[in-house]
Structure 1
């Protein structure tokens, strides 16, 4: 059974796909078998980061044309196996629940030790469910205020979705589920949800509290330019604990490198072609931290 590592972000442009591709290359460099999957069904571009001009066969062929998953796996110049997304196919961004489960179940049963799943930005149900299904969860952010705000929003929706799925089907909790989806009545703190659950069923409250306590997410700060930006880690950690009740694992940071754009323009996989070895070491350190902390 493969271990799925989901890479997500609250907004686009924070280097999520860049990070996913280089993490996969770093895992392969360690001697582990790894499959890199573009899970962005509405704007796939991960193939560019592993040296491919076009994704070729993709999840579209697997889902809609029912090709075996093995038939859509491509070899890449980055020395990692790859499954492309389907960003230019009408309706692919809105796959149904059966199609979503088919993707997840097949990825889980692949021959690879690890699957690195690069998710689309934002808080669609599909992206959130992909994220929650994965054994290891990573959120990529930068020091920009919009990235920080959207990263918190992504985590909030993810944990609330986890709670909602646990409560769904029990009519006693219909009002709580309704409030989880409501902007005007939405819970500001996860502890308020637990209080409401406790008034209905203390056993369920305890189970949801356990679910929240075991929800582990790693944070990577990308495109770091100044050392003082590391303070964002601590502020984000404190807010997440205070309002969402979850502990953030500070996985690491990636310094800004102008060479990233140059490599991308030439379709050169960054990890395998970076001039400064220190940048490759950063990815190896982050990789090891992911294995140890998540």
Structure 2
């Protein structure tokens, strides 16, 4: 079965689409049959990073026009197969749970080794669920304080979302489930959630602990300008362990390079057209790590 790699970020502007595209190209270049999917259902632009001016078909046509999934797969100048997202289409950012499951289940049945799914920024339920359905979860951030804060917020809410889905059908834990969904009354620490669950139904404590211990997320630091910025990894790892009880996998970093924006303006896939071997080597290292524990 096809393995899905979801790439998310807490905010826009951190280079998530650039990373997703070049990760997919790196995997494809290694001989893995890879499909790149634009999971942004409100402002899709991933096609630009694989050399396409526009994606004429995409997820909208699959869901609303009932096209077969194979009819919306596009060959790209980046030599990687591609499915476009949706942009400027009323309602597409708020698809139903059935439509969400249809996308995931259909992608898993395709004849690819890997699907790299570039998710829209933010913490909508669609993005959280796409992220949590994935076989490999990757968060990309840069060293800016807002990026770090929003990335941690995304990770926290993603974890709380899977806990909430686990306990929501247990009437004894209804109050905990409601609080997990509340942004204003949310739990600061996972230990506080476990303590509440223990008070209402102690039989669920071990189930939630098992879920948390199996929750794995990889971290990529993008736009690195100075070596000292690598400390972001260790700070993020410490906070995630302290408050969420989860381990972070440090997948690697991508240096800042003005050539990246220039290649995008020319619609030239960076991995193939750039002379910067150092950045391409970083992508190859990261793609190895991404698939090593799947």
What TM-score do you get using the length of structure 1 for normalisation? 0.98
Structure 2 residue 35 is the aligned partner of structure 1 residue 35? yes
User: Contact conserved, 1:49 with 1:264, CA < 8 A, in 2?
Assistant: yes
Per-residue deviation, residues 46-105 of structure 1 (Å, max 9, x unmatched):
000000000111000000000000000000000000000011211111111111111011
Q: How does 1:142-221 map to 2 (within 5 A)?
A: 142-221=142-221
Distance 2:49 2:13 in 1: 14
Matching residue of 1:260: 260
Matching residue of 1:63: 63
Per-residue deviation, residues 206-259 of structure 1 (Å, max 9, x unmatched):
010010011000000000000000001000000011111110000000000110
Distance 2:187 2:113 in 1: 38
User: Contact conserved, 1:249 with 1:293, CA < 8 A, in 2?
Assistant: no
Q: How does 1:90-169 map to 2 (within 5 A)?
A: 90-169=90-169
Distance 1:184 1:86 in 2: 31
What TM-score do you get using the length of structure 2 for normalisation? 0.98
Distance 1:55 1:4 in 2: 21
User: Contact conserved, 1:26 with 1:284, CA < 8 A, in 2?
Assistant: yes
Distance 1:184 1:276 in 2: 46
User: 1:168 Cα deviation (Å)?
Assistant: 1.1
SS at match of 2:200: coil
Matching residue of 2:9: 9
Question: Runs of 5+ in structure 1 lacking a partner?
Answer: none
Q: Report how many residues are paired.
A: 294
Distance 1:248 1:161 in 2: 18
Distance 2:172 2:186 in 1: 18
Distance 2:263 2:97 in 1: 37
Distance 2:59 2:183 in 1: 33
Deviating above 3 A after TM superposition, structure 1's stretches of 4 or more consecutive aligned residues are none
SS at match of 1:218: strand
User: 1:293 Cα deviation (Å)?
Assistant: 4.4
User: Contact conserved, 1:59 with 1:85, CA < 8 A, in 2?
Assistant: yes
Give the root-mean-square deviation of aligned CA atoms.
0.8
